[in-house]
Amino acid sequence: MSTQIRVSELYLGQARASSSVQHCMAIYDKWAPTYNHEVGNEAQSYVAPVLVAQAALKAAEDPAKCVILDAGCGTGLVGQALVTAGAKVIDGLDLSPAMLKVAKQTGIYRNLAQADLTRRIETADETYDIVTCVGTFTLGHVGPHPALRELVRIARRNGIVTVTILEEIWVSGGFKAEVERLKAESRVTVITEELIDYVKGHGDRAVLVILKRIDSA
Ligand SMILES: C[S@@+](CC[C@H](N)C(=O)[O-])C[C@H]1O[C@@H](n2cnc3c(N)ncnc32)[C@H](O)[C@@H]1O
């Protein structure tokens, strides 16, 4: 177990220090075959997927009928937690083809596609009832612009956007300010903004943000 934690910390450290989107993708492409074994084996401590899945479905109007996007889906841990919590239709997007390949093997995603969340997402306005994004708003990965606004754009009116943002970049990385802007523009209401133990026992905490889209495109 301790070796597994060291391996996952090594890859995560490299990914958080990555200098470009290409570099980040290369790290996850290498990590993909063992990600579930290392992170999944720490499932007791990597609690973010389950917390987000449960919170997102609880905030939605009719959970069993929701069409969901799992942005930055990785190998599918959030998708699996969503299914356990009652979700039926889930699409996934991720930067890394190798992570997507593992996600495909779960058999739970309707559609999976490669996408770079630092750019415009090639999805029509108001497509999803729920959008989740877990572990992807972190150092060296995806910043607030344009990603948060894009996730809101592709959520339906009254749709729910549920994301985690690493605590240390919540303010300094401009995430809090972007949430405030979306609120000031009357695009969203903020349902939840709370600190959670992201990886229990590892001191990693994240801000869990749940937004409800209130405007229409
Ligand atoms: C820590 S993993 C989290 C994966 C999954 N959500 C989970 O909780 O297990 C971060 C994910 O973000 C993806 N990622 C990193 N940069 C990205 C980008 N620019 N666009 C889309 N996905 C990105 C990585 O490929 C990786 O799958």
The string of pLDDT tens digits covering residues 43-102 is 558 999 999 999 999 999 899 999 999 999 999 999 999 999 999 999 999 999 999 999
DSSP for 59-105?
HSSSGGG-EEEEET-TTSHHHHHHHHTT--EEEEEES-HHHHHHHHH
How far apart CA 198 and CA 118 sit, in angstroms, is 22
Q: 45-213 has which CATH code?
A: 3.40.50.150
Q: What pLDDT sits at residue 38?
A: 85
The answer, yes or no, to whether any atom of ligand 1 lies below 6 A from the CB of 116, is yes
Q: Is the dihedral of CA 89, 70, 68, 77 positive or negative?
A: positive
Q: Whose CA is nearest to atom 4 of ligand 1?
A: 74
Provide the percentage of residues in the chain whose pLDDT is more than 90: 82
User: Would you say how long the chain is, in residues?
Assistant: 217
Question: Per-residue pLDDT for 42 more than 60?
Answer: no
Question: For the chain, what is the mean pLDDT?
Answer: 93
Q: Round to whole Å and give the CA distance between 49 and 184.
A: 29
Q: Is 94 in the pocket of ligand 1 (CB under 6 A)?
A: yes
d(CA 97, CA 93): 10
Pair of tokens at residue 181: 């802007």
Give the pLDDT confidence of 4-19 residue by residue, as tens digits. 556 678 898 899 999 9
Q: Is 141 in the pocket of ligand 1 (CB under 6 A)?
A: yes
Where is pLDDT greater, at 132 or 10? 132
Identity of residue 2: S
**Of the candidates 214, 200, 211, which has an alpha carbon nearest to the alpha carbon of residue 51?**
200
Task: Indicate if ligand 1 lies below 6 Å from the C-beta of 123.
Answer: no
